[in-house]
Structure 1
Amino acid sequence: MKRKSIIFFSLLYFAASQLSCIEEAVLSSFTEDFETQALILREIEQRGDYINSQDLPAFKTASDVFNNLQDCIILDVRTSEEFNSGHINDAINIHHTTLFDYVTNSYEVNKDYIIISGSGQSASYYASLFRLYGLKNIYTLQFGMASWHSDFAGLIIDKTQSPNLINIFNNIDYPKPKFTNLPKLTKPDNSSIENFYTERIKTMFSEGFAETSTGNISAINTVDFEHLSVPGENEFYICLNRDIFFFGKLGDLNNPGHPKGTVLYECYYPGSLLKSTSYLQTLPADKTLILYSFSGQLSAMAVAQLRLLGYNAKSILFGAHAMFYERLLNTLAYSPFVFQKKLVVNYPYVK
């Protein structure tokens, strides 16, 4: 699909949104002309288009949570063993397979739901799914329990021993591919688009998100950083950030910044390049999309939205913290986004 097709779709979408006074039968007839994937995209945009909105990223810091515990519902998605080793007081330990039903069946609009995992990556994925569903008061504890107390910091710190990847990195500004079609989705004939959308989200909760690194492909939606040394021929690498993060040192090919072939897609409001009116449809639907960000949290959020759209997207676990941690530490502009054990406040926890 060419760029003009996207503009055409956007105009049709705008027109459809103005048909509230027309009888339901007419609106139903109108939407049947769209393919399922276009209707899923419209549903995402109607519910806030999370990764392209000003709500991204929906983080709460450890101090935010500690100072407002009375207004929060803490949902800890770690294993029972991890939970029993230490958790925030009054936190609820819940498995990802029951998380969606738990929240939607007991939803409290006046409380902030804080989803917690070890490093914040799986929590970011699940929070993104809730945001895509349309719930606005779902947040992630930034850096997870690692940021709550130094006793849990090892999960991230152990991944910051930067590997020697200089032989597979460069500073080439690779162009975005040509515009193409969205991934093909097929909706059952007896299902409305709203029900199909919800069922896709529930399926993604059931699939889970493994934030622990086990080497190579570790889950359906993640990849370990070691995989960068042996990338597949049918993979497309994406850096979710800005130029300063993409390049090791702008213009200096001797200070490489990203894996070979990686394309930069800025993912920050209002200039996000993953909007339907921007460069979303330059993402190749026939390849596996491998995304990375600072800590793996932002990429986990984006992967949730892209997988909902039908892309085979995966997040590089721990992101730049596993890929080039020393560069993050030594770059002043990155400092607000870098996890450092010495900055952990050590809030109380219970067993």
Structure 2
Amino acid sequence: MKKISLILIGLFLIPSIFLTSCDKGDDLQVVQTPAQTLMVDYMLTANLDLPNVDTSVDGAKFVTAAPAEADLPAFLAKYYIIDIRSASDYATSHIAGAKNVAFSNILAEGTAAGAKPVLVVCYTGQTACYATALMRMYGYKNTQALKWGMSGWNSSTAGSWNNNIGNIADGNANWSYDAAPANQVFSKPSFTSLSTSGEAILKKRVEEVVAAGFKTVKGSDVLAAPTNYFINNFFSSTDFTGFGHIKGAYRIQPLSIADNSVLGLDPNAKVVTYCYTGQTSAVVTAWLRVLGYDAYSLTFGMNGLYNSNAAWSSNKWSASVSKDLPFGN
């Protein structure tokens, strides 16, 4: 009888213990802040929202033009120059004092610059701008890209631009002069991290984006099937309608995490940014990929789509843009 009594008491106690354990478990449950939120919060405090990646807090734009010949000595003395073109093209012609560095090694190379600002050089300025944005987000805030790349340095190295301007948008059924569609509001992109440090998450994200290489898309592909992409045009509002644009393109400007305007981009789509030269869109694309978007830069921008468009001249490529500055040994 005594055994039966003990068994009955035990049966009554087990549910009580179970429920008490559950209650304690609920009390101890911790809701972890998403990795993307931790990173974005850090980016805001570190002045790494897109406007500050585009133009640093010191007022330095992400690109700088090749100097006049009289200013060349001061220009060369100012920068630690890294040339991210192929070794063979570097060997053929490069800026005096420039060091040939693979794109994959740009983050490690930044430390070698010391107190000097870094100048990144490529063929057209586009990959260099992508690298510049990533280096700025990694902590090398004084990094800049050479505008137009080696194409703007000397006419003998201008083929990368000369051979890629075009007018495929002229008369194309997917070129439009309509107003931009109304902006939508989407959810944030997401990714996982074991770290709870926004700074550490950002550095890891930048490293991953560098390792993946520059993500681009051809203007001809986007123009042929614009509905395959979420397209954001980075023209001014006047140029959006004056120049025309790819059909269905949005115009989300400003683009920022501080005001949540970045939520106008679809995190589940291929987000294509295009501008006049492909250089600004490279910066935007690098920033968006770090944030978690499947982002792409439309190569050569308006110059590759509709270079002969009569509505513009600023940031328009022509053979006259190239200087004839000397090369190093």
Which category of TM-score, normalised to the shorter sequence, fits these structures?
A: 0.7 to 0.9
SS of the residue 2:173 aligns to = helix
Equivalent residue number for residue 62 of structure 2: 58
Cα gap change, 1:230/1:344 in structure 2, threshold over 3 Å: closer, same or farther? Answer: closer
1:246 aligns with 2:240: yes
**Any gaps of 5 or more consecutive residues in structure 1?**
1-30, 210-220, 250-256, 267-271
AA partner of residue 70 (structure 1) = A
**Residue-by-residue CA offset, 1:165-210 (whole Å, 9 max, x unaligned):** 521111122324432211011112x56332222111112112222x
Of 196, 218, 221, which residue of structure 2 is paired with 1:224?
Answer: 218
Equivalent residue number for residue 318 of structure 2: 340
Cα gap change, 1:161/1:307 in structure 2, threshold over 3 Å: closer, same or farther? Answer: same
**Residue-by-residue CA offset, 1:50-84 (whole Å, 9 max, x unaligned):** 52234374111101783421121110000111111
SS of the residue 2:67 aligns to = helix
Give me the whole-angstrom Cα distance separating, in 2, the residues matched to 1:134 and 1:94. 18
SS of the residue 2:82 aligns to = strand
Give me the whole-angstrom Cα distance separating, in 2, the residues matched to 1:32 and 1:78. 46
Equivalent residue number for residue 98 of structure 2: 91
Aligned length: 291
Give me the whole-angstrom Cα distance separating, in 2, the residues matched to 1:177 and 1:164. 24
SS of the residue 2:308 aligns to = helix
> Identity rate of aligned residues, in percent?
23
Q: Going by fraction, where is helix more abundant, 1 or 2? A: 2
SS of the residue 2:118 aligns to = strand
Equivalent residue number for residue 260 of structure 1: 247
Equivalent residue number for residue 169 of structure 1: 175
Cα gap change, 1:32/1:94 in structure 2, threshold over 3 Å: closer, same or farther? Answer: farther
AA partner of residue 273 (structure 2) = L
- Aligned-pair Cα RMSD in Å: 2.1
Asked whether the equivalents of residues 50 and 128 of structure 1 are also in contact (C-alpha less than 8 Å), the reply is: no
Equivalent residue number for residue 133 of structure 2: 128
Cα gap change, 1:37/1:50 in structure 2, threshold over 3 Å: closer, same or farther? Answer: closer
Give the structure with higher Rg (CA): 2
Q: CA deviation at 1:107?
A: 4.2
Asked whether the equivalents of residues 118 and 144 of structure 2 are also in contact (C-alpha less than 8 Å), the reply is: yes
**Residue-by-residue CA offset, 1:137-180 (whole Å, 9 max, x unaligned):** 10000000000000111111111131245211111223244322
Equivalent residue number for residue 214 of structure 1: none
Equivalent residue number for residue 254 of structure 1: none
Cα gap change, 1:232/1:247 in structure 2, threshold over 3 Å: closer, same or farther? Answer: closer
Equivalent residue number for residue 204 of structure 1: 209
Asked whether the equivalents of residues 52 and 275 of structure 1 are also in contact (C-alpha less than 8 Å), the reply is: no
**Residue-by-residue CA offset, 1:304-338 (whole Å, 9 max, x unaligned):** 111000000000001111001111xx33xx43312
Q: CA deviation at 1:97?
A: 1.4
